[in-house]
Chain A
Amino acid sequence: MAYSDKVLDHYENPRNVGVLDKSDPKVGTGMVGAPACGDVMKLQIKVNEQGIIEDAKFKTYGCGSAIASSSLLTEWVKGKSIEEAGKIKNTQIAEELALPPVKIHCSVLAEDAIKAAIADYQTKTATKDSKADAA
């Protein structure tokens, strides 16, 4: 299968590979997919006081399109508010990377990953706030 130049670029030079401290209350972690399906994406975001994503890291087990989708996503979410990041649609990722129909699920997974990371961050913040209220 022929990959687009953008997929190849992200695959060969993936951006923002790495790990953030998942115990940090400012860090949200999303892990989606399953080894059985051939792809697992882990996406982490670090959110500042203003609700802006100041850092993002990923690790992906999957095909070149899955790696490229998650790499692109980390570039896109950095500097965005969590509201804006939560509105990123898989179709935008698929379009940017020119994914063929059989690889659309890779972009869906990336959208799921950012949503999961935001949800994790919000759950953490809510627990922290309720703890603060109780105290």
Chain B
Amino acid sequence: MKKPIYLDYSATTPVDPRVADKMCQYLTLDGEFGNPASRSHAFGWHAEEAVEEARANVAALIGADPKEIVWTSGATESDNLAIKGVAGFYGKKGRHIVTCKTEHKAVLDSCRQLEREGFEVTYLDPEPNGLLDLNKLKAAMRPDTILVSVMHVNNEIGVIQDLAAIGKITRERGVLFHSDAAQSTGKVPIDVNAMNVDLMSLSAHKTYGPKGVGVLYVRRKPRVRIEAQMHGGGHERGMRSGTLATHQCVGMGEAYRLAKQEMAAEIERIRGLRNRLLASLKGIPEVYVNGDLEHRVAHNLNMSFNFVEGESLIMALKDIAVSSGSACTSASLEPSYVLRALGRNDELAHSSIRFTIGRFTTQEEIDYAAGLVKEKVVKLRELSPLWEMHQEGIDLSKVQWAAH
């Protein structure tokens, strides 16, 4: 067993070796290195064929038509293009957007930018289990609402929003529906038509493809228009200019082809490992699962270890690579905004760890991780004045803290 053990598959995944092999065929003189936009020779034609095959594979995983696939540099760019692109094109029709507080920063920051440009944005609070209350969504929609943006799977807590139910509402009211699905490809079945999604952001590197490539799905029937954010040559039907990175597109296509082929079996294997980890960690007193367990992807476990601070726990767990909901390691010193939006109190929000399991995780690794977490939580609680107070029966919520 090689250490540290990687349990951060929602941050990124390693490229599947089968994907890497295929990508390598599109780089060198011996391979197909041509510019897919070159129309005058075979180098260009072959590269274009490879890109189109990849496009078809991406489309197939989400039930779309290949013509609805726009290549981008990743899900962040796709989110920007979808939200700013819709605002740019439909801004005369209405200037209101609805989204959720637990969205990825690429969505939230794009919305903040539009607010600076005079748009109005409603940020919905999720329920304590992380899911959106559809009645609150309906109530937030106005006659001038042009876009609803709700992610499919949350990156921190792994809960799955009911896209089909949201899509039904938006379609009935003639409002566009965008979803960031970076965390759900290969983990949950996606059908853009059954879900009535109009725009969907996808990433390669969360699904065993390379970093630096993604897709924006843009519906053709009924036709959805967006204003380009990148200009220079009118590639991708004018929606996103720039020479396509053939090897990156090929990598994403191959990764998605494999995902479609293998996801059913892979999800069940991973669910078994996640449940094994959960069963083991549940034995520790005062631990809480963040987010709904039922409507949740199989590979995610986000837990709060009460009375232990997340960053120090991560430091103690240096043999496993996990992430903390607490962003203490950045300059902000803020607990996770996602857990705060669920209404978790500060101690629990500061005490959370996200474990995300993937294609290459083994049972041996899970058992090692569970043992290590148990040992370190005990050690850190011996150091914790909050644990001591809890043992003495003091209600921490009633203590007057000298906040600083």
Residues of A within 8 A of B (CB): 1, 3, 11, 14, 17, 19, 31-42, 59-64, 66-67, 102, 105, 108-109, 112
Contact = CB atoms under 8 A, between A and B. Distances in A.
Given A38-B328, A40-B385, A102-B331, A64 B401 contact: no
Contacts of B401: 33-36, 40
A40 B329 CA distance: 17
Contact of A40 (B315, B331, B335, B386): B386
Contacts of A36: 346-347, 401, 403
A11 B385 contact: no
Interface string B370-404: 00000000000011111110000000100001111
Contact of B402 (A11, A17, A32, A67): A32
Interface residues of B, number: 29
Given A34-B401, A34-B402, A61 B385 contact: yes
- Residue from the set B326, B335, B384, B387 with the largest chain A CB neighbour count within 10 Å: B384
B333 interface: yes
A118 to B, nearest CB: 15
Contacts of A17: 382-383
A105 B404 contact: yes
B333 A59 contact: no
Most buried by B among A37, A42, A61, A62: A61
A62 B385 CA distance: 10
Contacts of B384: 59-61
Contacts of A31: 385, 402
| A19, A35, A37, A38, most chain B CB atoms within 10 A | A35
Nearest to B307: A61
Nearest to B311: A63
Contacts of B157: none
B383 A67 contact: yes
B315 A3 contact: yes
Per DSSP, chain A at the interface is: mixed
Nearest to A19: B388
B404 A32 contact: yes
B312 interface: yes
A63 B312 contact: yes
Given A35-B350, A36-B346, A1 B385 contact: no
B308 interface: yes
B79 interface: no
Contacts of B307: 61
Given A34-B346, A35-B346, 13 more contacts: A11-B312, A17-B382, A31-B402, A34-B403, A34-B404, A35-B347, A36-B403, A40-B386, A63-B312, A64-B311, A67-B312, A102-B330, A108-B404
9 contacts: A3-B315, A17-B382, A34-B346, A36-B346, A38-B326, A38-B335, A40-B385, A59-B384, A64-B315
A109 B309 contact: no
Contacts of B315: 3, 11, 63-64
Contacts of A112: 402, 404
A38 B312 CA distance: 10
A103 B315 CA distance: 15
- A-B pairs, 3 with minimum CB distance: A34-B401, A36-B346, A42-B385
A3 to B, nearest CB: 7
A31 B394 CA distance: 15
Interface in B302-353: 307-309, 311-312, 315, 326, 328-331, 333, 335, 345-347, 350
Nearest to A60: B383
A66 B311 CA distance: 11
A31 to B, nearest CB: 7
A40 B400 CA distance: 12
B327 to A, nearest CB: 10
Nearest to B382: A17
A63 B307 CA distance: 12
Contacts of A40: 385-386, 401
Contacts of B403: 33-34, 36-37
Contact of A62 (B309, B387, B396): B309
Contacts of B331: 102
Nearest to A116: B402
Contacts of A59: 383-385, 388
